[in-house]
Amino acid sequence: MNNIQKALENGQSIWLDSISRDMLRSGELQKFIDLGVTGVTSNPSIFDKAVAESDIYDESLLEYAKDGADREAIFERLAVDDIRDAADVLRPVYDNASMRDGYVSIEVSPTLANDTEGTITEARRLWAAIDRPNVMIKVPGTPAGVPAIKTLISKGINVNVTLLFALSAYEAAANAYIEGLSEFAQNARGIPAAVASVASFFVSRVDTSVDNALPECHELRGKIGTANAKVAYAKFNKLFDRKLGGGGSFFPLHTTGAQVQRPLWASTGVKNPDYPDTLYVDGLMGPDTVNTVPEATLSAYSDHGTPGTELLGGLDEARSQLTALAEAGVSLDAITDDLLEAGVNTFADSYESLLERIDSKLKVLST
């Protein structure tokens, strides 16, 4: 087996943090799937890059502009096409995994990060437009996003909770999933096992911010992103305890065959060249998890990664590292709050850049 397949054997799905129409039409996505990749994620930055680097979207841009649609509607149509096609390519993975893998994610507009009702409305529209069971709608784990997550799950809509940095935000997202799925089951809206969710916990951005707050050569540099994720994973195991009397609120749902909401490690491309390029894959591998990786990280992991189950150990050390960080005068809560705000703003900026690119391309194509 290759390293991607070994990761899957250890309980972790490797998803690709990239999508483009070129990748779909050339068969490149299928090649990744043949290697063991079991999912795909997208965001405005990824679509902006895809539209910028290829003329393959030009014909669709002109077609979708004919009826006078605004640039937001044009982008949505482009994105729906790609997400639907990716879902079709991944459908055999979804079927073979009994609905527990094989997903492709699409994000609601970043401008709705603080708008609960707007998020619900757009998520339901995207879900209906794509009309594939192996799609996840990405919703940010903001205070406004949490009730939207609960509502969408209660309607049987798969959700990828994105932009999670703080442990408290992760716990809120997990509880929203459990509450929403309980409502779905109680109202007999369908089979609970058919509803899926992941909680995307960002890693490398935490290390970048913490490292900037610590002195050079401090022993905690490059450690806190992984430590934060390990503590989140411990919280996941407690919340989704599947044993009778285990203390978690998920057990009644587990008896119906419901899926756990898997932690997904995001932002796993290494930003600091002094750190190993597979740091956030090797160090965060364990059962019931997903790691969504950019192509460069996937290539590095395939070449020289070390598949294992690192998540199953080192929890005490991780907690000690978080305590030591506070004792060093660095507030992780303040950092994660800033990262959430910056993440929302960055995706919003990427979304605006994408819309401007569509405008400029249409002007050129129309002349």
- What lies within 8 Å, CB to CB, of 51 at 6+ separation is 57, 78, 354, 357, 358, 361
| Given the residues 138, 155, 230, 361, the one annotated as active site | 138
Q: Are 40 and 90 in contact (CB under 8 A)?
A: yes
Predicted confidence (pLDDT) at residue 330 exceeds the cutoff of 80: yes
Type and span of the H or E element at 293: strand 289-293
Print burial letters for 133-170: b (CB count within 10 Å at least 16), e (below 16).
bbbbbbbbbbebbbbbbbbbbbbbbbbbbbbbbbbebb
Q: Are 350 and 43 in contact (CB under 8 A)?
A: yes
Predicted confidence (pLDDT) at residue 183 exceeds the cutoff of 70: yes
Q: Are 282 and 306 in contact (CB under 8 A)?
A: yes
Average pLDDT of the chain?
Answer: 95
Q: Kindly state the DSSP code that residue 246 receives in the 8-state scheme.
A: S
Report the percent of the chain where pLDDT is more than 70. Answer: 99
Return contacts of 273-281, CB within 8 angstroms, 24+ apart.
274/222, 275/207, 275/222, 278/304, 278/305, 278/306, 279/222, 279/226, 280/203, 280/204, 280/225, 280/226, 281/7, 281/14, 281/305
Mean pLDDT lowest among 62-76, 241-255, 300-314 = 241-255
Strand partners, 14: 291
Mean pLDDT of 69-93: 96
pLDDT tier, 247 (very low <50, low <70, confident <90, very high otherwise):
low
Q: What's the pLDDT at 189? A: 84
CA distance 260 to 264: 12
How remote is the C-alpha of 309 from its chain's centroid? Answer: 21
pLDDT digits (tens, 9 = 90+) for 203-242: 999 999 999 999 999 999 999 999 999 999 999 999 998 7
Predicted confidence (pLDDT) at residue 244 exceeds the cutoff of 70: no
Domains and CATH numbers, the chain: 3-204+228-311+339-365 (3.20.20.70)
pLDDT digits (tens, 9 = 90+) for 135-164: 999 999 999 999 999 999 999 999 999 999
Q: How many CB atoms lie within 10 A of CB 10?
A: 17
pLDDT digits (tens, 9 = 90+) for 19-36: 999 999 999 999 999 999
- What lies within 8 Å, CB to CB, of 199 at 6+ separation is 141, 161, 164, 170, 173, 174, 177, 236, 261, 262, 263, 264
Known catalytic residue: 155?
no
Angle of helix 332-365 relative to helix 44-52, nearest 10 degrees?
30
268: exposed, middle or buried (C-beta count within 10 Å: 0-12, 13-18, 19+)? buried
How remote is the C-alpha of 223 from its chain's centroid? Answer: 22
